[in-house]
Amino acid sequence: MSVNVVVTGMGTLSAAGNDSESLWRGVLSGQSFVRRVTCFDPAAFRSQVAGEIVGFDAEARLDRKLARRLDRYSGLAVVAAEDALRDAGIDAISDPEEFGVSIGSALGGALIAEQQHERYLASGISAVRPILAISVFAAAAACNVAQHCGLHGPALGNTNSCASGVTAIGEAYLLLRDGRARRMIAGGVEAPLAPLTFGAFDLLRAMSSKFNHEPQRASRPFDRQRDGFVMAEAAAVFVLEREDDAMRRGAHIYARIAGFGISNDAFHMSAPREDGSDSARSMRSALAEAGIGPAEVECVSAHGSGTPPGDTAERAALRLVFGERLAHVPVMATKGCHGHALGATGALEVAIALLAMERGRIVPSVNADQPEPEIATSTQPRPLRPATVLKNAAGFGGLNAALVLQRGR
């Protein structure tokens, strides 16, 4: 029996806003929320800008004891999960053994690891928080969400670099499709803004440094002046469930997850395969699983990292998928607004795509003033209510993932 998987709830936290409504207003505004780093002194680094979540206070959202037990990474995940459940209209978990979690993150608890290492160096092991060992591993977010929400189904925490969030949603989709779960909380979370972590990417010269004096211009997906990505933090998680269950309880359906594809370049640890062939393969795989061809895609939610090699390779991949039609397919590349939240970024862009499908607006690609040839980005909102969106994601290590989203009936 065919099982359709739908999205019925979402919870988001990002530089553009701390819920889905503020996120939507932010991305629709055409503004950038990238600023000079404030959570540490960035003066030593080439890149000095980031997309920080402003005003997040776990203690204001969660039980005080729980909030103090969680590091920022897991705190973001638990709050976003609560918001997603609330948005889905799920007040009580009636099927805990069939309700699972799948959360992706490139770096997991890197922030608390750095903070506690500083304490260790300054004052010895007695100064280190006892929660360190249970906070640093990437699956900690999934485990804390499962524990907090009382979910006993599958719990997955993948670390597929910047494709993690999309991969997590895809893995949840597969579990539901194959009858291994009935409902899933799925998405991506990242809290990477710590000096050593930030500096490690800065050493690779992967991050923007040209616009430190004008942070809002720094993140430039597919723009010819791009010079690197802008690191950010974010959380975006969703409630996925079987369509018949959602309809039976009268849930609001954002869209159907119709296909998932995944591949690996097997080429380089920090650079994509130039011809985009393996990225194209993951997108084609997602389309094939959805039972549609490229001609039926009405919009692309691109990865659009803003790195010179990344965007060039993605353009090549999209050209392989769409051919001459590429120049006419609307492309949303939103990192100019909220920055690049590594493993969370693809999930955040899924949220934006779902809102665009529901509200009939293609959001602008901030700072894409001189777009690459054939990439149909726009610096202004466009009226369109796409029935089918192809979401692409890519990450260090040559990891690729893609989803097909189809508007709910």
d(CA 183, CA 7): 10
Residue 278 DSSP symbol:
H
Judge whether 338 counts as a catalytic residue: no
Instruction: Answer yes or no: do 199 and 81 share one domain.
Output: yes
Greatest Cα pair distance in the chain: 63
Instruction: Answer yes or no: do 216 and 268 share one domain.
Output: no
d(CA 18, CA 161): 23
* Predicted confidence (pLDDT) per residue in 317-364, tens digit: 999 999 999 999 999 999 999 999 999 999 999 999 999 999 999 999
Domain assignment of residue 33, yes or no: yes
**Length of the chain counted residue by residue:** 409
Judge whether 340 counts as a catalytic residue: yes
User: Which is the catalytic residue, given 148, 149, 299, 303?
Assistant: 303
Judge whether 213 counts as a catalytic residue: no
What is the arithmetic mean of pLDDT over 71-85? 98
Domain assignment of residue 26, yes or no: yes
Instruction: Answer yes or no: do 165 and 231 share one domain.
Output: yes
Predicted structure pTM score: 0.98
Among 201, 332, 176, 340, smallest CA distance to 256 is for 176
Tell me what the pLDDT averaged over the chain comes to.
97
Residues of the chain above pLDDT 70, percent? 99
Residue 409's pLDDT is 57
User: Which is the catalytic residue, given 149, 337, 338, 340?
Assistant: 340
DSSP string, 58-121: HHHHS-HHHHHHS-HHHHHHHHHHHHHHHHHT--S-S-GGGEEEEEE-SSSSHHHHHHHHHHHH
Assigned token pair, 133: 């060992």
d(CA 346, CA 165): 5
Instruction: Answer yes or no: do 225 and 315 share one domain.
Output: no
Instruction: Answer yes or no: do 139 and 217 share one domain.
Output: yes
CATH number at residue 374: 3.40.47.10
d(CA 122, CA 242): 51
Per DSSP, the three-state class of 255 is strand
- State how many domains the chain has: 2
* Predicted confidence (pLDDT) per residue in 213-228, tens digit: 999 999 999 999 999 9
User: Which is the catalytic residue, given 162, 299, 337, 338?
Assistant: 162
Domain end call among 248, 275, 290: 248
Angle at CA of residue 14, ends 9 and 16, nearest 5°: 105
Domain end call among 216, 248, 280: 248
Question: Does the pLDDT at position 188 exceed 90?
Answer: yes
Domain assignment of residue 369, yes or no: yes
Domain assignment of residue 254, yes or no: no
Instruction: Answer yes or no: do 109 and 55 share one domain.
Output: yes
Domain end call among 248, 267, 282: 248
* Predicted confidence (pLDDT) per residue in 104-146, tens digit: 999 999 999 999 999 999 999 999 999 999 999 999 999 999 9
Instruction: Answer yes or no: do 161 and 274 share one domain.
Output: no
Residue 2's pLDDT is 73
What is the arithmetic mean of pLDDT over 305-312? 98
Instruction: Answer yes or no: do 146 and 293 share one domain.
Output: no
Domain assignment of residue 313, yes or no: yes
Instruction: Answer yes or no: do 172 and 221 share one domain.
Output: yes
Assigned token pair, 395: 């990450």
Instruction: Answer yes or no: do 212 and 166 share one domain.
Output: yes
Q: What are phi and psi of 124, to 5 degrees?
A: 90, 175
Q: What are phi and psi of 340, to 5 degrees?
A: -110, 100
Domain assignment of residue 253, yes or no: no
Please report how the helices 195-203 and 110-123 are oriented relative to each other, as an axis angle in degrees rounded to 10.
110
Domain assignment of residue 349, yes or no: yes
Instruction: Answer yes or no: do 154 and 203 share one domain.
Output: yes
**E strand residue ranges, 284-387:** 299-301, 331-332, 361-362, 382-383
d(CA 258, CA 348): 18
Instruction: Answer yes or no: do 70 and 100 share one domain.
Output: yes
Assigned token pair, 50: 């980031």
What is the arithmetic mean of pLDDT over 365-372? 94
Give the dihedral of Cα atoms 260, 266, 269, 274; nearest 10 deg: -80
> Structural domain of residue 322, as residue ranges?
259-407
